[in-house]
Amino acid sequence: MIGKKIVIASTNTGKIKEFKEMFEPHGYQVLSLKDLPEEIDIDENGTTFAENAVIKAQSVTDRFGMEALADDSGLEIDAFGGEPGVHSARWLGHDTPYTYKNQVILERMEGEQNRGCRYVCAIAWTKPDCPPVVIEDTVECTIAYRPAGTNGFGYDPIVYYPPYGKTMAEMDPEEKHLISHRGKAVRRLEKLFDEKDC
């Protein structure tokens, strides 16, 4: 069993908030990198979401001897050849506001017929003396024509989910977790929590 404490190898407040919303109702205490005894510098130099997730989680496990979860996720836009992809967080600059990033996407998509996109999430679960477990999932969406909604974070205001008829940022947390890339991956991961062996 993973225990009551889960270290999320991230400082992204949006991600931590979503993990808290998903795990705390099940009795887990969600910690972030900021809650660890000392700062850890992680070089995310992987070429895939899965590689980056493993790098982040394994870094925490190796340094502190603790079980950890790491999420690496992003937006793939078909018309952009899959970009921003693994570079989603640092696309156009790591500190560039998402309001600007979203506006750039909408401008580049003007007149584009192929508006298909997907959120991709890879979650790595690591623990001492065990190989990492990686689960990936996606949610197929389209790029909206204009931003809408104030919930969520990142690209959510321009990522439209046709079955709901709204953007990710227009959904309440419960709706979003049911269909999101992260929500689906977490539910698959939860089924592994009772496994005591590697």
Give φ, ψ of 196 to 5 degrees. -85, -25
User: 120 and 76 in contact (C-beta within 8 Å)?
Assistant: yes
What is the H or E stretch that residue 81 is in?
A: none
Given 71, 72, 137, 156, the catalytic residue: 72
Give φ, ψ of 140 to 5 degrees. -80, 130
72 is catalytic: yes
3-state secondary structure 100-111: HHHHHHHHHCCC
Nearest to 7 by CA among 59, 50, 51: 59
Known catalytic residues are 72
